[in-house]
Structure 1
Amino acid sequence: MPPYESDSSSDDGEDYSTTNVTLGYASADSTGDDISHLGGYPTWLDAHQTPAAALSKCKVCNGYMSLLLQLNADLQQYFPHDERRLHVLCCRKKTCSKKVGSVRAFREVRKGETRKKKGKQPEQVQMKKPTQDLGSALFGGPGSLPSMNSANPFSTSSTSTQSTINPFSSLGSPSKLAAKPPQRPVDEVQPPTESFADKLRITSESESSGKDKQLSEAWPNDSQFPPPFTSFYLDAYPEELEKESVTDSKAESSKIQYDTEESGSGAGLEKDTFESSLDKTFQKFSDRVAQNPEQVLRYEFKGEPLLYSGSDGVASRFIVPHGKSGAIRGMPRCENCGAQRVFEVQLVPGLIYELEKDEAMDLEDGMEWGTVIVGTCVNNCGVPGQVSFREEWVGVQWEERVAGK
């Protein structure tokens, strides 16, 4: 498996190492966090302040989407006065699959209000106290988050003696059901390009009024949505990797680099090396997930996503294409405040298995993504004293369905 920097010392006598990534697992039993869940319907910080209906609709067919994930994403280290949640939805229509806009995510945030006092610096005042503090909600006890991973709402202690303890509850380990094996990647489908004339076209009054109406339209009632996916609670564990696998991978990587240098360069060799690197991206994903096969999501605020493919438009935002130089593209900046976006969470194929295992459907009708990557505003922008809803960036790396022989 690929090399990875570990938080654990290599000479502690253990046969595994713990990373900064926190893994989420589906659970049919309550884990103590009633906010985070898979499937079902979304819930809100304030029942009287809901997002616009536009955020509930697929950008391809304009139909209502289904909830994949709602995550309690409070980050006490970075935003101690803010409450925040992440919502990820997808369109379940086959005709929308593999099209940009069929999977969407938005951030819900309630920011503390700034009050100025004479002769003193402005201070943040929480408008509404959370129903329970993050430490109690996620770790089953009072106090603050562990210092090392306090930025991560799923984080746990890095000590090996505690890494096997469920930070959400004492109900035991997650289900033993194996995750659906990942399929081969396919390039992300890009939206059609607009002509210069299209970009200069003046929006008609009827189109403008239609957009205004959509933005002001309230979030629909649950009955207006398609039947939801089965709802599951979320367990959380720190990611643990076998140290032996990490060591072997580093040695293999060094050998490949040495062999390439010794063989010289050429057009044919460059092509083979490039194709090999694409395969390695997918293999790295498969090997990494296989060490904890029941995971449904991976969380690390300001971390790095685990790419499913190395050749599509999503991958080009995180890696420099082979044979080229320069900085990576990165994710688009926040459209609301202009700040950078950072990686926060990604969904993996185990989530598809959990949500679809009890549904009566043809194999051809299921979800077809390899991973869904969500990037969020590094400033957690919003309106002080109010609940705000901000659409965030989603990068989907799709499966390539292998035709039967």
Structure 2
Amino acid sequence: MDSYDSDSSFEAENEYTETNVNLGYASREPTGDTISHLGGFSTWLDPNRTPPVSFARCKVCSSPMSLLLQLNGDLPQYFPNDERRLHIYSCRMKPCSQKVGSVRAIREVRKHKVEGATRSKAEKAILNAEPQKQSEDLGTTIFGATSSKSNPSNENPFSLASKPFSMSSNPFNSLPSQTTLAAKPPQRAQEPSIETFASRLRISSPSPQLKADVPGELWPQESAFPKPYPYLHLDAEYEALAPVKPQIPEASSSKIQTQYSEEDSTAPNGLDKDLFESNLDKTFLSFSDRLAQNPEQVLRYEWKGNPLLYSSTDAVGKQLVPSNGKTKTSIGMPRCDSCGAKRVFEMQLVPGAIAALEEDDINLEEGMEWGTILVGVCERNCGEIGEVVFKEEWCGVQWEERG
């Protein structure tokens, strides 16, 4: 038997590869992270310090939006004295879909006072840092991601006692010392699909309008918002990819294709092959293939990494992909509105989040229509010492094509 004839024998001889990307998974059961979650309502670092009311509104219709994600964004490796949270909101009014401003990202940050020399060194380290897997597990720091390679012993990888920082200085000391999670085994790859990833949602009745900002006015009461999406906890692990199968020799490939054509009159090559291939978006196929290896993922996290694009031909794709075809996080993203620093990629939501959030909405006809939501943030994590501040960050939405 030729080596390319057996998937099982090939996978048995080759190990799965871990990437620097942390994958988030939705869970109805508590995961030990009391901050990160899908759906529900936002919670704030300081209950008495909330965002401007305008941040709660869709930029298209001014209706109040719904929370898609709240993420514990603490990065002790880069910002050891800062508390961070990310909030992503989306408008549920159907006319706003596919329009800029209907999805918004908020960075919440509180900087604690430190000696000037210490902060200066930290900022220099941030700007010079390269995106690579840290010895202090970044995935674990964000929301409990585990790495099989970083846990050679039988020690529980979810225990804070195994981390290089102590409970007294750990910004996650509100978490239990050990969780009951188990690492997910590599998931079997599934065939990519070009169909929509989730059921549809129709919001026909208009939501109550929010008033303009008034100095000192607090974030609106929960009753002012649409019915929230279900509250789902987040679990995480490093992305594991199946080994790449060897290419089928050209002669064998031709033979297989000939047999397929003779045996099945509905084979793809029965169509106009040139027309079929010209209508394929190779970027989308790569997106689908990558997600198919871990189909339950709802988000992808990699600080200063490269996003996985849904399309290279839409406005966002053209904005992020330069002429050489290589995606770069700092190309195309506008600089920080507050301090002028460049923005870097931090995380993205993927269609698994739609399936998780809309799973119980069996009576809904139309749903979210995005393919991925990319979030780029200020590289310096700008803010004010001792104060909780809110900054709107760059949100690049790649939508599903209609029709």
C-alpha spacing 1:336/1:350, structure 2 compared with 1 (3 Å): same
Q: Distance in 1 between matches of 2:329 and 2:112?
A: 36
The partner residue of 1:157 within 129, 140, 147 is 147
Q: Distance in 2 between matches of 1:166 and 1:97?
A: 41
The partner residue of 1:290 within 280, 289, 292 is 292
Structure 1 vs Structure 2 CA RMSD: 3.8
Using the TM superposition, give the Cα deviation of residue 359 of structure 1 relative to its aligned residue in structure 2, in angstroms.
1.1
Using the TM superposition, give the Cα deviation of residue 158 of structure 1 relative to its aligned residue in structure 2, in angstroms.
5.7
**Residue of structure 1 equivalent to 2:371:** 370
Q: Distance in 2 between matches of 1:327 and 1:153?
A: 20
Q: Secondary structure at the match of 1:314?
A: helix
Q: Distance in 2 between matches of 1:65 and 1:371?
A: 18
Cα deviation, 1:220-252, whole Å, max 9, x if unaligned, reads 01111110000000000110001124x659x99
What are the ranges of 5 or more consecutive residues in structure 1 without an aligned counterpart? 1-11, 125-144, 186-209, 253-271
- Conserved 8 A contact 2:305-2:329: no
C-alpha spacing 1:360/1:150, structure 2 compared with 1 (3 Å): closer
Q: Secondary structure at the match of 1:47?
A: coil
Q: Distance in 2 between matches of 1:48 and 1:179?
A: 48
- Check if 1:400 corresponds to 2:401: yes
C-alpha spacing 1:349/1:238, structure 2 compared with 1 (3 Å): same
C-alpha spacing 1:376/1:312, structure 2 compared with 1 (3 Å): same
So what's the TM-score if we normalise by structure 1?
A: 0.69
Amino acid at match of 1:305: P
**Residue of structure 1 equivalent to 2:136:** 147
C-alpha spacing 1:101/1:240, structure 2 compared with 1 (3 Å): same
Q: Secondary structure at the match of 1:395?
A: strand
C-alpha spacing 1:341/1:180, structure 2 compared with 1 (3 Å): same
- Conserved 8 A contact 2:66-2:226: yes
Using the TM superposition, give the Cα deviation of residue 319 of structure 1 relative to its aligned residue in structure 2, in angstroms.
1.0
Cα deviation, 1:338-384, whole Å, max 9, x if unaligned, reads 00000000000000001001014433x20000000000000000011
C-alpha spacing 1:122/1:65, structure 2 compared with 1 (3 Å): same
What are the ranges of 5 or more consecutive residues in structure 2 without an aligned counterpart? 1-11, 121-133, 159-177, 198-210, 251-273
Using the TM superposition, give the Cα deviation of residue 323 of structure 1 relative to its aligned residue in structure 2, in angstroms.
9.7
**Percent of aligned pairs sharing the same letter:** 52
Q: Distance in 2 between matches of 1:56 and 1:370?
A: 23
**Residue of structure 2 equivalent to 1:280:** 282
- Conserved 8 A contact 2:330-2:343: no
Using the TM superposition, give the Cα deviation of residue 37 of structure 1 relative to its aligned residue in structure 2, in angstroms.
0.2
Aligned residues: 318
- Check if 1:348 corresponds to 2:370: no
C-alpha spacing 1:248/1:58, structure 2 compared with 1 (3 Å): farther
So what's the TM-score if we normalise by structure 2?
A: 0.70
Q: Distance in 1 between matches of 2:320 and 2:337?
A: 20
Q: Distance in 1 between matches of 2:21 and 2:331?
A: 23
Using the TM superposition, give the Cα deviation of residue 280 of structure 1 relative to its aligned residue in structure 2, in angstroms.
1.0
Q: Distance in 2 between matches of 1:40 and 1:360?
A: 18
Question: How do 1:97-136 and structure 2 match up within 5 A?
Answer: 97-115=97-115, 121=117
**Residue of structure 2 equivalent to 1:83:** 83
Amino acid at match of 2:372: T
